[in-house]
Structure 1
């Protein structure tokens, strides 16, 4: 897929610096001169994808992994007594965040920026002349609706009911939210958008456009929505369409799934595109995830003068979750060994674990080349196995689970009861998709977040005198939703989530 070109429309967001959707104009383009050709619509679509880049990578310590992975029992952070500037990310890990937390504000604001971009596209596209190329028009509508649904799906799971903005903002009065839509209303809109995207998107694109949302990506989003809503038969139907299409397959080598030299491979259904060929388009995962005291020891490229942030440090719990002989463990988790590490509470002996699956060679300081996987075929198979089991069809589910286990070098599981299979497939999802921003959502949709995280919190307080002293991980039911960012509560008069 070519470089994301951010096309933001100026002149529409009068007073937007105080609004729900705080988009700063990037050019002198206006709606009066833009959105006249399919090529311009395409540029705007690429801009909408660009917000996913921003959302997932963040700026040093507010990427999506903080709210989606560090929130769970999979990862934590290495406490740095000499750098206390990222306290808000630490608070999310320890369930101590409040509504003024800037990580929450960043996620909310960036998501709504992406939503706003798609709203403008969808409102303007009917006036654009596509000639006889209805397939391209359908593709553009499908991409915009997929991206809008994806952003709203993230928001509703993290915050509950949220403002439902579906049209272009043309006047200052339209900037402000009209309250929060209910959870059911948000899900109804998500389903409407994603179902239309399924109908309109193609299965594949030419190689130079790889990375755009496809019918497979829309079906995965549809299936995940149904799984979250406990609509297992509808989820199964969507997942079976992906399998029967015959387009996707498991790569033989788990490590190759994450190799930037193999981007958009046959296992990939949707991944967020990054490139170190363009300024501002690069990833930097190893710099964010390496222990802060590791220097250049873990780097596979230029690192002199670089800084490591030590986020997303694997917990003892995820390390112990891998079965003996699981080939995925050494691909996913690496170790920084140094005698001085014993002073850090995340160390095991003299070694600190780090997320290794996103650590690959690079050729420029702070600029790496890994995409971020959102949907892959392994997840399709595991969700299909789960859905079938929930329908009472456990024997039919076994081959899908065991296909993923076989690649990991593990023996097949057979003859399990429904409950035994349920636990097995949840475990398999955890280790197969570890550190890919899936765990917190999985805990929420399966109803296990409170029990799992309370047990995890107890373990963390036993490991860390600092966390015990600070009484971290005091997890009450209301904390299964994040607080609405304080800025939005004040400026848009939004009702705050209970407990905050």
Structure 2
């Protein structure tokens, strides 16, 4: 006889976080740490009970791992951490169902689903209180459940669809990606049409799901599944709200100054006294990081030159976003100058310690020295999950794919390129559909690097082969010959077209679930 279902075990025990407290917090309004244990029989009597329960659902949102590090298994980055199994198994074509990193992500999303189902199933037990607020809380839970299923269907393709509180011994079969996506559409349409999520919140509730977030998620689900009409219409609805805009300073958008700005639609909230992280952990060893995720030459090559190429300095005249995203030799870093070349006397010399870069570049995006130089362990910059620039690019891409090309397509792309601190040349009219397709795809890489979206774009465009081949890192000058070279990491990544667009269902789940199905290409 098999042991009880692994997903259901996780989902059953996860609900206890609602009653006994949670490990992560958001801002002051999103209090997800109830004081003391509360029995389930005493719960669901007040609006505050419902609010605490939905706050616990937010605790499973994507954080630094999926925002800063996920791009490290694509063509634009390298995920360095060597604990086995790791993300790099995905890059090197060695992923299998027992991969602990992949399993932990699956578990977290299903904890979110279980917590959301608990709210949805029980909130109507609250008989007194603000009915409008209760309706909003229920819509928040449905939105978050739709978010988790968006991620599950995007990474695993086919997963069990669980929409109610179920017995711990129940087993649920695999649903197709099409069934999951249909469910997400229906949920989001209900939420959007009911119009119970506000456009914005007061300071105490910033970070909760909004009407704009629901529309943005609908656009994201649609474009990930080649529903370009749906993506165009949902993205246009976000634009027409008239409440979002591009933050003028690209670098500051990912610093304290850019928090909760007009560009942010939905994010994972952090706060000192609640949930924090090592602000420099994924970055350079010289500032206390471990070089956990590193930009690669594949990203560098995407950025255009806006002036003559200097044979003595390949970094000169590059798209400014490259300099905001990556540390490269010659840039200020803290009170020093970044230098990772092989003859560097600094702690950032390539491969000099376990904390230094392996490929020569380090992550600069999300690094705010002014705020965290004294105590980087108190990093609380929110991880942006949805922002307005992405909406503009989804709108432009959807219109391009529909061959519905007009001035609004050029405007959407150029608004991003003309951000004051970026100020790249405009894309001029008269481009073909194929030319615009290439332009908008490249723009997504340059604008959204290390925001955790690249893998989804690779998968939906079916260009997995870009992840394969020899890994290349920094440009550096050879101390002996004076020639500029590109550092070859020495490893060769691979991609299996027939298998690797979908991650494997965790082996722990396969072992104890009689009715679940493994994805094609993995051992059943």
Q: TM-score, normalised by structure 1?
A: 0.84
Give the counterpart of 1:160 among 143, 157, 160. Answer: 157
Q: Does 1:331 align with 2:321?
A: no
- 1:223–1:238 contact (8 Å) kept in structure 2: yes
Aligned to 2:508: 487
Moved more, 249-258 or 472-481: 472-481
Q: Which residue of structure 1 lines up, in the alignment, with residue 57 of structure 2?
A: 48
1:66–1:92: 8 Å Cα contact kept in structure 2?
no
Does 2:365 correspond to 1:357?
yes
Q: Which residues in structure 2 correspond to 1:437-456 (within 5 Å)?
A: 437-449=452-464, 451-454=465-468
Unaligned stretches of 5+ residues in structure 2: 21-36, 306-317, 329-337, 474-485
Residue 471 of structure 2 is aligned to residue 475 of structure 1:
no
**Cα distance in 2 between the residues matched to 1:311 and 1:223:** 31
Q: Distance in 2 between matches of 1:17 and 1:123?
A: 19
Out of 232, 238, 255, the position equivalent to 1:242 is 238
CA distance in 1, matches of 2:519, 2:69: 17
Matching residue within 43, 53, 58 for 1:34: 43
Flag the 1:138–1:349 CA change in 2: closer, same or farther, 3 A: closer
Q: CA deviation at 1:317?
A: 0.6
Residue-by-residue CA offset, 1:127-173 (whole Å, 9 max, x unaligned): 21254x3331221121111100000110011111111111123x332
Aligned to 1:145: 142
CA distance in structure 2 between the partners assigned to 1:333 and 1:94 by the alignment: 23
Question: 2:439 aligned to 414, 419, 424, which one?
Answer: 424
Using the alignment, how far apart are the partners of 1:91 and 1:428 within structure 2? 28
CA contact (8 A) 1:232 1:390 kept: yes
Stretches of 4+ aligned residues off by more than 4 angstroms: 14-18, 342-351, 459-466
- Indicate how the Cα distance of structure 1 residues 356 and 163 shifts in structure 2: closer, same or farther if over 3 A, else same: same
Looking at secondary structure, tell me which structure has more helix per residue: 1
2:491 match: secondary structure: helix
Shift of 1:421: 0.5
Out of 74, 77, 80, the position equivalent to 2:76 is 74
Conserved 8 A contact 1:76-1:312? yes
SS at structure 2 position matched to 1:173:
coil
Contact 1:69 1:435 in 2 (8 A): yes
The structural deviation recorded for 1:435 is 0.3
- TM superposition shift of 1:207: 2.2
- Counterpart in the other structure of 1:103: 101
What do you get for the CA RMSD once the two structures are aligned? 2.7
Asked if 1 retains the 8 angstrom alpha-carbon contact of 2:510 and 2:518, the reply is: yes
What are structure 1's unaligned runs of at least 5 residues? 1-13, 58-62
Q: CA deviation at 1:460?
A: 4.9
8 Å contact 2:216–2:234 — kept in the other structure?
Answer: yes
- Are residues 499 and 37 of structure 1, via their aligned partners in 2, closer, same or farther at CA, if it must alter by over 3 Å? same
Check 1:419–1:365 CA distance in 2 against 1; reply closer, same or farther (3 A cut): closer
Query: When the two structures are aligned, how many residues end up with a matched partner?
Result: 451
Question: 1:203 Cα shift?
Answer: 0.8
For 1:269-348, list aligned pairs within 5 A: 269-275=265-271, 277-279=272-274, 281-287=275-281, 289-291=282-284, 294=285, 297-298=286-287, 308-324=289-305, 325-335=318-328, 336-338=338-340, 339=343, 341-343=349-351
Where 2:40 maps in the other structure, the secondary structure is: coil
Please tell me whether the aligned partners of residues 315 and 346 of structure 1 are also in contact (alpha carbons under 8 angstroms): no
Inter-partner Cα distance in structure 2 for 1:135 and 1:42: 13
The 10-residue stretch of structure 1 (371-380 or 187-196) with the greater mean CA deviation from structure 2: 187-196
TM-score by length of 2: 0.80
- 2:404 alignment counterpart: 393
Moved more, 66-75 or 113-122: 66-75
Structure 1: distance between partners of 2:495 and 2:490: 14
CA gap 1:252/1:116 in 2 versus in 1, 3 angstroms: same
- Counterparts of 1:251 and 1:373 in 2: how far apart (Å)? 13
Cα 1:477/1:145, change in 2 over 3 Å? same
**Shift of the alpha carbon at 1:246?**
0.9
Once residues 292 and 78 of structure 2 are traced to their aligned partners in structure 1, the CA distance between those partners, rounded to angstroms, is 7
